[in-house]
Amino acid sequence: MKISRILTLGLCAFLMGTASILAQQTVSKPATVKKIATLKIDKSNVKVQRHTVMSRFDSEIASSEEERLKKRQQRIAETERKLSILDTLDISERKRKMLLRDLKYNPFSNRLNKATYVGTEFEDTSDNQD
């Protein structure tokens, strides 16, 4: 009888102690708007193959290694430009995700071209008044 009272009191003390510990609030950082991770472009490891299959059969038609490296760097610069345009557009997150997916897997899609097209209008500078 005495042992059951001691066990009951010990159990009550244990439950009260754990309840008071669990009831305390944890310190958390203020919640901010989560920004979607954008596409990462690694420019440190830009390489092209030294020889291609096409150069093995017809070296006059195939472009050289320097030309292919220059084209690749231009494509990377174009991708970065499109990425910066997408980051500044005021569009929904769903559409932004679709456009980022297009940029990564299908960089020449019509949807991406329409979104990143900068509407520049050229004025006629020549005054032909005869």
Specify if 91 maps to a domain. yes
- pLDDT tier for residue 4 given thresholds of 50, 70 and 90: confident
Kindly give the interhelix angle for 93-105 and 65-88, rounded to the nearest 10 degrees. 180
CA–CA separation, 39 and 47 (whole Å): 19
CA–CA separation, 3 and 61 (whole Å): 96
Q: How many domains does the chain have?
A: 1
Residue 109 has pLDDT above 70, yes or no: yes
Specify if 128 maps to a domain. no
Q: How many residues does the chain have?
A: 130
Specify if 106 maps to a domain. yes
- pLDDT tier for residue 72 given thresholds of 50, 70 and 90: confident
Residues 6+ apart with CB under 8 A from 107: 75, 78, 79, 82
Domain carrying residue 106: 37-118
pLDDT, tens digit (0-9, with 9 covering 90-100), for 14-32 = 888 777 776 666 666 655 5
